[in-house]
Amino acid sequence: MDKETFLSELVLALDCEQDLKNDLILNDLEEWDSLGILSTIELIERCNSDVDLESIKNAKCINDLIYLAGIDNG
């Protein structure tokens, strides 16, 4: 999965209406709640990356999620 597709899928997973930018702080998103976190874990696992809850909890911004998904952010 490429970065653009990941971001599009993340919008769907979080059920949010705004564009997600790399530097967007996750705690600023109303949708970044327990359901959003579980949906994000599922999305990252679809990228063939293993992720644990602690890594997700330590993520601060969208860019951290891209990194956890193993997507080249270049």
Stronger pLDDT, 73 or 33, i.e. the higher one: 33
Q: Please report whether residue 57 resides in a domain.
A: yes
pLDDT band at 8; cut points 50, 70, 90: very high
What was the pLDDT predicted at 53?
Answer: 87
User: What whole-number distance in Å separates Cα of residue 22 and Cα of residue 24?
Assistant: 6
Per the structure, the complete domain to which residue 59 belongs is given by 3-68
Total domains in the chain come to 1
Q: Please report whether residue 74 resides in a domain.
A: no
- The long-range contacts involving 43-46, CB below 8 angstroms and separated by at least 24 positions, are 43/6, 43/9, 43/10, 43/13, 43/69, 44/68, 44/69, 46/1, 46/9
Q: Please report whether residue 15 resides in a domain.
A: yes
Task: Give the 3-state secondary structure of residue 3.
Answer: helix
Tens digit of each residue's pLDDT (9 = 90 or more) over 11-53: 999 999 888 999 999 999 999 999 999 999 999 999 988 898 8
pLDDT band at 74; cut points 50, 70, 90: low
CATH number of the domain bearing residue 41 = 1.10.1200.10
In this model, does residue 73 exceed pLDDT 80? no
